[in-house]
Amino acid sequence: MKLHELSDNEGAAKKKKRVARGPGSGKGKTAGRGIKGQKSRSGVAINGYEGGQMPLYRRLPKRGFSKPNRLAFAVVNLGAIEKFIEAGKIDAKVEITEDVLVASGLVRRKLDGVRILAKGDVTSALTITVTGASKPAIEAVEKAGGKLTVTAAAAE
């Protein structure tokens, strides 16, 4: 096989449509834009406009509600804390607070507080103080011989 014998598979390379290149091309004169009107001219952006008809996004009913004072928690799984302890980024003997989690790099920022979830296994006896925690997370830490204290009323 030589370089000049190589070719694409049938239908793999499609030729670009060249508009406004004479009547023989089938897309000459108006270049497939029709005659006159807004869309035949350049610089047109009419997304969502339906020619005077009520647009779809306004015909559909409003749904839902966005709570204006909603709390956003930084979420941490127990497995991630255990992994950071094994890597030596968090000291298991010291009390683990939100500031310790931020300093270790496990949490980027606290937001309205840190919430611990029960995903993953915990083997170390940890003392954790955070804004929120799930019930299974509290049980898992206590089962491992540690203590998980929730400071805010965000405990579920």
Query: What CATH number has the domain spanning 74-150?
Result: 3.100.10.10
Q: How far apart are CA 143 and CA 137, in angstroms?
A: 10
Residue keyed to tokens 């928690």: 73
Tokens of 59: 């015909």
pLDDT at 92: 82
* pLDDT tens, residue order, the chain (156 aa): 999 999 999 989 988 999 999 999 899 999 999 999 888 988 887 888 888 899 899 999 999 999 999 999 999 999 999 899 888 888 888 898 999 999 999 999 988 999 999 998 888 888 999 999 999 999 999 998 988 889 865 444
pLDDT at 155: 44
Domain-by-domain residue ranges, the chain?
19-61, 74-150
